[in-house]
A and B are shown apart, each in its own frame.
Chain A
């Protein structure tokens, strides 16, 4: 429901609503022009978000939430869950029709239960037109059939994190930009006792990011534009062959790695190269005053985007998170007002800044946030929303793309082949069979 500033003033003229009204008028965020939603009488909201990897993100989100409560009187309870547990929680909430009013979900979750989500097209279009438009990748995750079923909140970028001194020691003056040079570097690093490590285990983020990069950088794809499974291809075989070579240079144990293993091993000085969000660097940077070893690592860390493969351009997955409002909420207007408030400047600017490179903006107007130039290591994550390729490429997002990724079809294909449990051909055919199941052939 739209309401103008005049409506607000009229509403707040009543004595009973006087106090609340004065807060609305006095709030800079609510003094701005644009779409307005009037929260339902006595509305309270519950938001379930993922546990932060960078503390500043959560602190600022809570601070912005407090500002919203002060401005509107709407209390918002913010709960958090381990990020890998968000997907099942959201699925259950959608199916059961009960749970938090709002949730930060991952990847193509909104495409699994679009009918259970509140239509926020009006708000999505308003924010897009006000803030320079949405980046296409995150927008795809949040829209279905032309409607916004959620608001693309952020992209968690993934980049190469490496030790500069070790790369130089391995004989490379700069980090290789292509996959061939990257393989040579990993071989040299292993010879020097500073191996690389990329997860072949069931790591929701790291495992999928790495597997999709391997496939896409060699021109492979899970499905074609029409959604027909196309994994059985010479390009996939090339990707598997490359993965086998790269795997030989890894630290042992990457088949069992989940999402946190690479951070830990890297920060312990066991690894020369990982692919990760900014969190590994952030941890070293934040704790450098308390730990001389971390101080040394933080000084030596450099970041760069993953190498470009035979396909000739940068193609990466990245984790995208979308803020959704469930249909069952009794306070949809309050929820929309909350999301609008959080996406508006200065809240969004403050949040991106405090996230210290972890959360990448989805609205183009925030591209020039100072955080991306504040530290040279943040730059590799700055364009995550602009460059990402959604999973299920080149087909549409939906049940099938979500299920295929959740079932680790691609991750297992590479893991099987690199560990010698299957030949590349067998691994690829197994993946094709499993993908066909989800794409219902």
Chain B
């Protein structure tokens, strides 16, 4: 029996071997995405972290100064005020957005007349550009021309205009309210989408078992909605934590820095003030908070018990 000659079979070229390799092909398909991530995410992030360790200014690369920027920020009252403001803003606004958004989603999930119309209306604050809604709130909160003050005065509930943006406490509450108004639609519509994926048969079965409306919500709706809630709230927290436009238009961080968020302070010092290094350091200081929010959501999503409505 003749043994086939090995030499008779041409050895596949490197190119054809690569083209036939599933691994290589997969790697090749991933390359554009990896390049995009590298250019638009990793590089800016890395540059930001590096700048935080330099005394870079606008127009000047700067030199490495170690943790000097962070040391200064550690002793800077305005920075800590911005951290406090950011946390207060994020926590308050996120909780309010969640509660009101969930409530709206539950209502819109009912068989209401003109359901589509109401859903479209709910989306409006989300559709309006942030700057425009900020300008609208600017008028609502104006110290002289506030329509809210005017209405309350007309109703005899107050006898003088409310200093919405001039008093630090009022200013904080006002910007939080504006953020809540703007963010509710995102939460409401996303949760509504989640609600609609819950099979009706589960509610029917639970109803046959004699479950009350609260029990339906607690033991059917909430467990099945939890993964959506986790994702929605992760995004909501991230958007709120990094908010910039509302503050920039409404107060520019005033009065006396009472509404400065870390993002606005970073911009003020890094871009307007030209202190790129310090601005970058403030922005980098946001990362641990953002990571914590992401990790909380990530690990939350992994918990099967949690997804199924159980506790830890």
Contact = CB atoms under 8 A, between A and B. Distances in A.
Find the residue from B171, B253, B257, B274 having the highest chain A CB count within 10 A.
Answer: B274
Given A253-B143, A268-B144, A403-B269, A91 B251 contact: no
B113 to A, nearest CB: 43
Contacts, number: 120
Contacts of A251: 143-144
A388 to B, nearest CB: 21
B194 interface: no
Contacts of A202: 251-254
B163 interface: yes
B165 interface: yes
A406 B78 contact: no
Interface string B11-48: 00000000000000000000000000000000000000
5 contacts: A112-B274, A115-B59, A251-B144, A252-B160, A438-B275
Interface string A273-312: 0000000000000000000000000000000000000000
A365 to B, nearest CB: 33
A113 B58 contact: yes
A419 interface: yes
Interface in B161-185: 161, 163-168, 171
A434 B78 contact: yes
Given A253-B166, A399-B274, A406-B274, A270 B255 contact: no
A200 B268 contact: no
B59 A113 contact: yes
Contact of B143 (A113, A257, A412, A430): A257
B72 interface: yes
Interface string B72-91: 10001110000000000000
Across the A-B interface, give the 9 residue pairs with the lowest CB-CB distance, nearest first: A253-B143, A113-B59, A256-B165, A202-B252, A255-B255, A406-B273, A403-B273, A256-B166, A255-B166
A256 B254 contact: yes
Interface string B264-284: 000111011111100000000
B256 interface: yes
- How would you classify the secondary structure of chain A's contact residues: helix, strand, loop or mixed? helix
Contacts of B64: none
A223 interface: no
A407 B269 CA distance: 6
B163 A253 contact: yes
Interface in A226-258: 251-258
Contact of B268 (A201, A265, A406): A406
Given A252-B163, A406-B268, A268 B145 contact: yes
B144 A270 contact: yes
Contacts of A421: 168, 256
Contact of B251 (A116, A201, A265, A415): A201
Contact of B57 (A112, A254, A268): A112
Chain B interface size range: 35 or more
Contacts of A434: 76, 78
B77 A253 contact: no
A94 interface: yes
Contacts of B59: 91, 94-95, 112-116
A398 to B, nearest CB: 10
B163 A264 contact: no
B285 to A, nearest CB: 16
Nearest to B274: A112
A255 B259 CA distance: 12
B161 A252 contact: yes
Given A253-B143, A257-B143, A407-B273, A91 B58 contact: yes
B271 A419 contact: no
Contacts of A265: 144-145
A402 interface: yes
Contacts of B269: 403, 406-407
Contacts of A406: 268-269, 272-274
Given A256-B254, A419-B255, A264 B145 contact: yes
A265 B161 CA distance: 14
B256 A412 contact: yes
A252 B143 contact: yes
Given A256-B163, A403-B274, A430 B253 contact: no
A36 interface: no
Nearest to B276: A95
Given A252-B163, A421-B168, A91 B255 contact: no
Given A91-B59, A402-B274, A434-B78, 12 more contacts: A88-B272, A92-B271, A95-B59, A115-B59, A202-B253, A252-B143, A256-B141, A261-B144, A268-B144, A403-B269, A406-B268, A421-B256
